[in-house]
Amino acid sequence: MKKLLLLFSFLLLVTSCVPKVALSADYWQKPTKVGILINANPPAKFKEGSQGLLDMAVTSGDKYKEALDLMGQNIHPKEELTGIYSEIFKAKGKEVVIIDEKFDYKTAKKFAGEKAEGKKYSNYDFSDLKTKYGVDELLFVNVNYGFMISYYGMIETGKMAHAAVDTKIIDLNDQHLILANQNFKNEVLKKWKDNNYENSLQGVRTALDKVETEEKAVFITQ
């Protein structure tokens, strides 16, 4: 059976294979209204390594369910990131609107408009939010966290706490990307079950803290 290379942390739903786009030097000088939408997915088990389809089926059980449930109860990246970005954008002089909606990539409208040469574009069309919330731009952040498990076939070869964000600023007039940045961190886990998964929760907490620190640097250093 053909082997498959799996690295699910990069399946961040919105912008697979989109290159990095840095903020322009004059971005903060533009008096725009920015919508902030943090799409935080439930904590999950992600896989990396060489696996066939049968291997994938065998290793897809609920071994990590209890720990993941605890992560969901104790770690809240949506609230944390909403506060972080709101503070930064307001301090930089942008008007901010918090958009509390769930993004569903399965039903979301794909972008099918014209593309100007030299610009990169969102895979999805967020233009409805411009009318609904009166915003010029959208800061869209897709968040994944949980376990990153390494496999060789059916054999588990490693276990890490995982946190990842895919950050986009989208111009809602034409859906082109003002910024595109991906950021993830993994922390090696040992004795992940001990003390009611204390090490696992702390590992994810540490990974997310590092991600948040790097996210701040993307904007504050501009």
Question: Does the residue 165 lie in any domain?
Answer: yes
- Convert the pLDDT of each residue in 71-91 to its tens digit: 999 999 999 999 999 999 999
pTM: 0.87
Range of the domain at 137: 4-14+33-220
Residue 176 falls within a domain, yes or no?
Answer: yes
Region 137-162: what's the mean pLDDT?
Answer: 90
Q: Report the amino acid identity of residue 202.
A: Q
Q: How many domains does the chain have?
A: 1
Which residues, at least 6 apart from 184, have a Cβ–Cβ distance to it below 8 Å? 9, 162, 163, 164, 165, 211
Within-domain flag for 136: yes
Domain-embedded: residue 139:
yes
pLDDT tens digits, 91-103: 999 999 999 998 8
